[in-house]
Amino acid sequence: MAKKAEAENDKTVSTPRHRRDARVLIFSGKGGVGKTTVAAATGLRAARQGKKTIVLSVDVAHSLADAFDVTEEIKRHPRGRPYRVTDHLEIQEIDIQEEIRTHWKDVHGYFSLLFTQTGIENVLAEELAIIPGMEDVIALLYLQQYLHEHDHDVIILDLAPTGESLRFVSMPDTLNWYMRKVFRFERGLTKLARPLAKRIADLPLPDEHYFRAIEGIWGRLEGVDQVLIDHDVTSVRLVTNAEKMVFEETKRAHLYFSLYGVNVDEVIVNKLFLDLPQGESLPPSLARWTDTHRRTLAAIRDTFQGIPVSTIPFQSDEVHGIDRLERLGRDLYGTLGQGRDPTLATPTEPPFRIETAGDRTTFTIRLPGVKKEELELFVEETEILVMIGSQKRHIPLPKGLAGKRPEKAGIEGDALVIAFRRGHESPLSTSPEAGA
């Protein structure tokens, strides 16, 4: 019995393969588009279908409880823990402070001590010691935990606005790079420098508990990168509005999610002044929005060809509570039992493709909407570094390409194509030419 309890408490004991019959739905979009509401309505519809569902809020400015109108109940509930809303449905708003005490005690303690030693007051030092990205890692830990527990059919992630959403999906790649390239060197160097540092400075260096904590967290995240890029398991749903600025950000989000190999299988256009419910109409002062929405919706459909584009009409009142969420779910998915299943994945083109002819191999990376002037490419013997604006991804080269010489790179349609030949030449650093 003691051994069983010990194994249950230590999530690092083993890392089983992730459950491939569960579905992970990620909702992302610009702030204010109605992303949380759509995620909540989707979770409710999945639960009504009898699927055991949890909706997890990764946004620091949580509004998931507001969407279900259970804010007061959540306040009386244990902080940061799943809360049962209705049959088959739980919601969870991550409490960063509570999670730090559980998962990041040694890491947070080191940075808090460091800031305190530099003269910052204790309370402020505690706040500053919350490293950007902690909430993303904690959400990934929960995702991994729920998949391993095999207790949920659907896991819905309500992400923060687009920029933070991209940090979430890039986090496994970033951590993987750090652990492979930096961690061991940093750990060894700190061990050597610690005795000397104590003699010449008051600033602390991280101790072995810090590095063990990082290593333990990384071990618990093993395989989560494969979960995010498994198109049978994980889908991103981009929520947008039919407005030019929002549409432009949605296009960028699609490009960046594609860079990280994540499957975007639906675009949801919310708050449309088109096809309003029967008996509802726009006042004359808003009539011009109809033309704007019609033009922008046409542009959205044209841009996202091959990806389903769904629409939700502008609601007559704010959406919160079970009844209003069910109504929005009907607008989006149809009548329960007759409409479509929101948890089904739409097949899309794979993010990578490899083709070989003779001694020449092409490695194709799908990057919809990419422009050659914003793309930088660095090819080494074992990996590719692709940079688009502020986003970058390290892509390990397949074994068949390791050691082959990158001959040229170019943009063909919505893809980056890199051609390799056999050989061991110096790395290629380039901004690809279109059609090269």
Say whether both 305 and 206 belong to one domain. Answer: yes
Average pLDDT over residues 242-253: 94
- 155 and 233 in contact (C-beta within 8 Å)? no
135 and 268 housed in the same domain: yes
What digits encode the pLDDT tens for the residues 103-114? 666 665 655 555
Average of per-residue pLDDT across 298-326: 93
Q: Say if 370 falls within a structural domain.
A: yes
Last residue of a domain, one of 303, 319, 348: 348
Strand partners of residue 83: 91
Whether residue 357 sits in one domain with residue 228: no
Q: Which of 171-180, 205-214, 384-393, 421-430 is predicted least confidently?
A: 421-430
Backbone angles phi, psi at 107, to 5 degrees: -65, -50
- Residue 357, domain extent: 352-434
Do residues 234 and 253 share a domain? yes
CA distances from 58 to 138, 275, 277, 346, 372 (A): 9, 32, 32, 24, 33
Which pLDDT score is estimated for 403?
Answer: 67
Same structural domain, 260 and 392: no
Do 247 and 365 fall into the same domain?
A: no
Whether residue 57 contacts residue 165, with contact meaning beta carbons closer than 8 Å, is answered with no
Q: Residue 11 falls within a domain, yes or no?
A: no
pLDDT per residue as tens digits for the range 266-295: 999 999 988 766 666 777 777 788 889 999
Whether residue 362 lies inside any domain: the answer is yes
Same domain flag for 342 and 360: no
- CA dist 200 and 312 (Å) reads 64
Confirm whether 2 is domain-assigned.
Answer: no
Residue 10 lies in a domain: no
Quick check: is 239 in a domain? Answer: yes
**Domain endpoint, select from 348, 374, 391:** 348
C-alpha to C-alpha distance for 237 and 172, rounded to whole angstroms? 20
9 lies in some domain: no
CATH number of the domain residue 363 falls in: 2.60.40.790
Q: What is the domain count for the chain?
A: 2
> Which pLDDT does position 307 carry in this prediction?
92
Q: Are residues 427 and 302 in the same domain?
A: no
**Run of H or E residues at 420:** strand 415-421
| pLDDT band, residue 153 (cuts 50/70/90) | very high
According to the model, what pLDDT value does residue 198 have? 60
Which of 348, 376, 405 represents a domain boundary (last residue)? 348
- 101 domain-assigned: yes
Q: How far is CA 244 from the centre of its chain?
A: 24
For position 341, which CATH number holds? Answer: 3.40.50.300
pLDDT tens digits along 1-50:
444 433 333 333 334 455 567 999 999 999 999 999 999 999 999 999 99
Residues 326 and 360 in one domain: no
